[in-house]
């Protein structure tokens, strides 16, 4: 049995490939390398460069690897702000990409998919922590594109019996503790890597987008989870489907929220740097608070996140940042 990882050269995909290989699973990776990095992919995985929307290419991947039993799908665009400006790019790449993928999976008879969904499918929650059964009302095209993907998988399951697990991640931060793989986006838009760029002196100052939200210190509150723990959740989700269980969704978070100001303070503690910051206008599409109720993943999948301390998460990201100040460019 082997696993096909789509988007396996991306931030979370590459950590999952790494874990699969460590566990001795035969792993095939597809990535367009539009946002991913070849250097992030374990050399022990079989790698194909291509786009999942290219059906002939995907047919070839499945044909050449008849042992593929399940797909883990990370191949999507994921920037809220960009999606507000370019919604069609998100519906095309993410949502239409899913339709192509499910059609090819149906043709070749691969019936299990674990999918990277997002807390952005919930929009502005009526209450926190957010449960999987809470209403999904996205407030940005990124969240909407992923909600549509969840719904498409549901109807594909009803019609064609393709079983899915949608993993709704909250915020992801950190790197492999040995510093060998980590987060590298270009341009970088995420809070923690930007904070660390300022700490390292490669960016002048942090802009905190809005301090007038309905939260204790006025800055957005987010729930951070480490990619190592996310990787484990994906592997457990494949096992869950292999045991014949029904399609479902799980939230993946730590169930603890940190405000943007608290992240800045924790990063100052870890890095021992001043990290200059200023308050800037709100960014479009940001809900006040996003905190996961993730008991369902713990109870049903047996998920036990190891990184439950934000300082430890930041330490791993800082190690990656110090050893790769220019990201994977250092390795190419």
What is the contact surface with ligand UDP in residues (CB under 6 A)?
80, 171, 189-191, 194, 207-209, 220, 222, 260, 283, 286
The Cα 27–Cα 29 span in angstroms is: 7
CA gyration radius for the chain?
A: 19
Which position has the token pair 């439950």? 308
Nearer to ligand UDP, 132 or 183 (CB): 183
DSSP E strand boundaries for 119-244: 163-169, 171-172, 206-209, 221-222, 224-225
Nearer to ligand UDP, 27 or 286 (CB): 286
Centre a 10 Å sphere on the Cβ of residue 51 and count the other Cβ atoms it contains: 17
CB 145 within 8 A of CB 286: no
Instruction: Give me the catalytic one of 48, 122, 142, 169.
Output: 142
> Minimum distance from CB of 161 to ligand UDP (Å)?
33
Chain-centroid distance, C-alpha 107:
27
Active site residue 240: no
Nearer to ligand UDP, 222 or 319 (CB): 222
| Residue least distant from ligand UDP (Cβ) | 220
> Minimum distance from CB of 121 to ligand UDP (Å)?
12
Of 319, 313, 109, residue with least CA distance to 227:
313
> Minimum distance from CB of 262 to ligand UDP (Å)?
11
CB 219 within 8 A of CB 264: no
> Minimum distance from CB of 50 to ligand UDP (Å)?
27
> Minimum distance from CB of 45 to ligand UDP (Å)?
27
**127: three-class secondary structure by DSSP:** coil
Nearer to ligand UDP, 136 or 220 (CB): 220
CB 96 within 8 A of CB 78: no
The Cα 212–Cα 304 span in angstroms is: 35
Active site residues: 142
């Amino acid at each position: 049995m082997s696993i096909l990882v789509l988007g396996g050269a991306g931030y979370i995909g590459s950590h999952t490939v790494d874990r699969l290989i460590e566990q001795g699973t035969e792993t095939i990776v597809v990535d367009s390398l539009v946002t991913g990095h070849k250097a992030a992919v374990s050399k022990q995985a079989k790698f194909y460069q291509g786009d999942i929307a290219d059906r002939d290419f995907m047919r070839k991947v499945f044909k050449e690897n008849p042992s593929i039993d399940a797909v883990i799908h990370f191949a999507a665009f994921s920037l809220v702000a960009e999606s507000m400006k370019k919604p069609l790019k998100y519906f095309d790449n993410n949502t239409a990409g899913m339709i192509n993928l499910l059609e090819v999976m149906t043709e070749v008879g691969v019936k299990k998919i674990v999918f990277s969904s997002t807390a952005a499918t919930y929009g502005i929650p009526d209450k926190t922590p957010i449960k999987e059964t809470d209403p999904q009302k996205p407030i940005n095209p990124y969240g909407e594109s992923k909600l549509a993907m969840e719904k498409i998988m549901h109807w594909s399951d009803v019609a064609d019996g393709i079983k899915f697990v949608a993993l709704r991640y909250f915020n992801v931060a950190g790197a492999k503790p040995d510093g060998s793989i980590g987060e590298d986006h270009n341009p970088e838009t995420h809070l923690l890597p930007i904070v660390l760029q300022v700490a390292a002196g490669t960016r002048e100052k942090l802009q905190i987008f809005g301090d007038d939200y309905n939260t204790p210190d006025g800055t957005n509150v987010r729930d951070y989870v480490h990619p190592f723990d996310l990787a484990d959740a994906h592997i457990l989700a494949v096992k869950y489907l292999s045991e014949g269980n029904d399609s479902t969704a799980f939230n993946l978070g730590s169930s603890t929220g940190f405000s943007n100001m608290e992240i800045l303070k924790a990063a100052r503690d870890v890095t021992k740097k001043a990290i200059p910051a200023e308050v800037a206008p709100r960014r479009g599409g940001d809900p006040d608070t996003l905190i996961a109720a993730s008991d369902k993943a713990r109870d049903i999948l047996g998920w036990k996140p190891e990184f439950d301390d934000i300082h430890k998460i930041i330490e791993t990201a800082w190690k990656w940042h110090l050893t790769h100040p220019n990201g994977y460019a250092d390795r190419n």
